[in-house]
Amino acid sequence: MSVGHVARVFEAAGLPTITIAVAAFAGRLEPMQVPRLLLTPFLMGRPLGQPNDDETQRDVLRTGLRLLETAVATPTVAHY
C-alpha cells in the first residue's frame, strides 16, 4: 500500500496529510504509521460511505479535516 509512503513524502515536503480508509485495512495501515489516519466502518471501496449519501460523506470529510487541525502527534489514528 503505497499510500503510506506518499503521505510521508508529502509531509516531508511540508504538506500535511490525512489518510481516510475503511477499518478493514487498519492492520496494514497502522504499522505503516501514516501521519494521520481516519478509519471508517464502511465497506471496502467506500471509505466515505454509501454512494449518494452526501450528508455522511461530508461528515467524514469534516471529521478528517478536524483531525488534520487537532492531531498533536504523528502518527495519530482516529475512528469515525
pLDDT in tens, 7-31: 989 999 999 999 999 999 999 999 9
The H or E element spanning position 17 is: none
> Which of helix, strand or coil describes residue 69?
helix
Q: What is the pLDDT of residue 1?
A: 61
What is the sign of the dihedral through the CA atoms of 64, 66, 68 and 72? negative
- What is the tens place of the pLDDT at every residue in 61-80? 999 999 999 998 889 999 99
By CB neighbour count within 10 A (0-12 exposed, 13-18 middle, 19+ buried), where does 4 fall?
buried
pTM: 0.91
> Which of helix, strand or coil describes residue 32?
helix
- Judge whether residue 34 has pLDDT over 70: yes
